[in-house]
Amino acid sequence: MDNDCPRCTIIRRSDLEEQLLTRFVGRPLYWVDEIDSTNRMLLEWATEGAAEGTVLAADVQTAGRGRRGRRWVAPLGTGLLLSILVRPADGVAVVPLATAVAVAEAIEERVPGGHVRVKWPNDVRIRDRKVAGILTEAYTAGDETALVVGIGVNVRVPTDVLDALPTPATSLSLESECSVSRIDLLTTLLSQWERVYERVQAGTWSLSSWRQRTDMLGRCITVVEDESVWRGTAVDVAGDGALIVRQETGTVRRLYAGDVTIRSPVRYIS
Ligand code: BT5
């Protein structure tokens, strides 16, 4: 794969590929010291015909992307930052929800008992604090859609960095007594993700696995949508990825984009 960033060296990690238990995800697997955004680079590779399952991970991103032009922040070596390329035949709408479930399951495997929950549309949280974010971006050419699924997990992001973020955030190092290795988390995550993605493609992935992983349904939420801010109750998620919300006026709306804040936090005892 050509590398057009003169400052970075993108290395194929066959040693890590050998540790993977996946069929196609992470084959090939590239790792770079520094890059602007793994999503941006992998989208470019998608246009050049990169193989389905290609994974690009980085130690640090200088312009890590969030949704709506926002930034994903993780100092060098403190986050698991990766993007996965797939060319789905079906199920594109639920890939972000399915990914959140896979990330939550992978984290829970490494940090048992961690109260890992998903929040629509793309957050993975522990004790109401964001520990991972997902950004799914598509490239379409003719009939074909390539999807780049970007995942950022806070593994050992320092507290001063987390505290400077506008929304509550946490890191696995704060949630676990044992240190979590980024490589171990990567291999677990790619296995979980491939399993979930294959179910999505086979049409057997069920939204119930997302419902079981969230604590936002039935809760009062505030929705920020472009210029408007309104309140309601999160009722359910739909097969097209929408969040179904009952507004205070009683009107039921389907939400496809926007930011949601849960107004009544859950209290955790342990
Ligand atoms: C996301 O956006 O949560 C998607 C994040 C995706 C990041 C991955 S890293 C690998 C891949 N390559 C990329 O370039 N991106 C993907 P959003 O819901 O818009 O959340 C962004 C907001 O979360 C920011 O505006 C901050 O408030 C907050 N934030 C930034 N960094 C964070 C962090 N490390 N932990 C928790 N929250 C963070």
pLDDT 10s digits, 102-151: 999 999 999 887 789 999 999 999 999 999 999 999 999 888 899 999 99
Residue 252, pLDDT above cutoff 50: yes
| Nearest Cα residue to atom 30 of ligand 1 | 72
**Nearest ligand 1 atom to alpha carbon 40:** 14
Measure 72 CA to ligand 1 centroid, in angstroms.
Answer: 3
pLDDT 10s digits, 160-206: 999 999 999 999 999 998 899 999 999 999 999 999 999 999 999 99
pLDDT for the residue 270: 44
Contact 240, 92 (CB under 8 A): no
Measure 134 CA to ligand 1 centroid, in angstroms.
Answer: 7
Residue 17, pLDDT above cutoff 70: yes
Probe target for ligand 1 pocket from 72, 129, 170, with the most ligand atoms within 8 Å of CB: 72
Residue 266, pLDDT above cutoff 70: no
Residue 261, pLDDT above cutoff 50: yes
- Of 218, 214, 215, the closest CA to residue 232 belongs to 218
Secondary structure (H, E, C), 163-192 = HCCCCCECCHHHHCCCCCCHHHHHHHHHHH
pLDDT tier at 5, thresholds 50, 70, 90: low
Residue 267, pLDDT above cutoff 60: no
Pocket of ligand 1 (CB under 6 A): 37-39, 61, 64-68, 70-74, 81-83, 122, 130, 133-135, 150-152, 154, 157, 165-167, 169
pLDDT for the residue 263: 86
Residue 66, pLDDT above cutoff 80: yes
Span of 96-100, 111-115, 180-184, 211-215 with lowest mean pLDDT: 111-115
pLDDT for the residue 142: 87
pLDDT for the residue 206: 96
| Nearest Cα residue to atom 11 of ligand 1 | 150
Residue 91, pLDDT above cutoff 90: no
Contact 105, 111 (CB under 8 A): no
Measure 131 CA to ligand 1 centroid, in angstroms.
Answer: 10
Measure 144 CA to ligand 1 centroid, in angstroms.
Answer: 27
Q: Give percent of the chain above pLDDT 70.
A: 94
Residue 83, pLDDT above cutoff 60: yes
pLDDT for the residue 256: 94
Q: Give percent of the chain above pLDDT 90.
A: 86
Q: What is the mean pLDDT of residues 30-53?
A: 97
Secondary structure (H, E, C), 26-89 = CCCEEEEEEECCHHHHHHHHHHCCCCCCCEEEEEEECCCECHHHCECCCCCCCEEEEEEEECCC
Measure 64 CA to ligand 1 centroid, in angstroms.
Answer: 7
Mean pLDDT of the chain: 93
**Nearest ligand 1 atom to alpha carbon 152:** 9
| Nearest Cα residue to atom 9 of ligand 1 | 152
pLDDT tier at 155, thresholds 50, 70, 90: very high
Name the strand (E) or helix (H) holding 104: helix 95-110
pLDDT tier at 7, thresholds 50, 70, 90: very low
**Nearest ligand 1 atom to alpha carbon 66:** 2
**Nearest ligand 1 atom to alpha carbon 82:** 10
Measure 122 CA to ligand 1 centroid, in angstroms.
Answer: 9
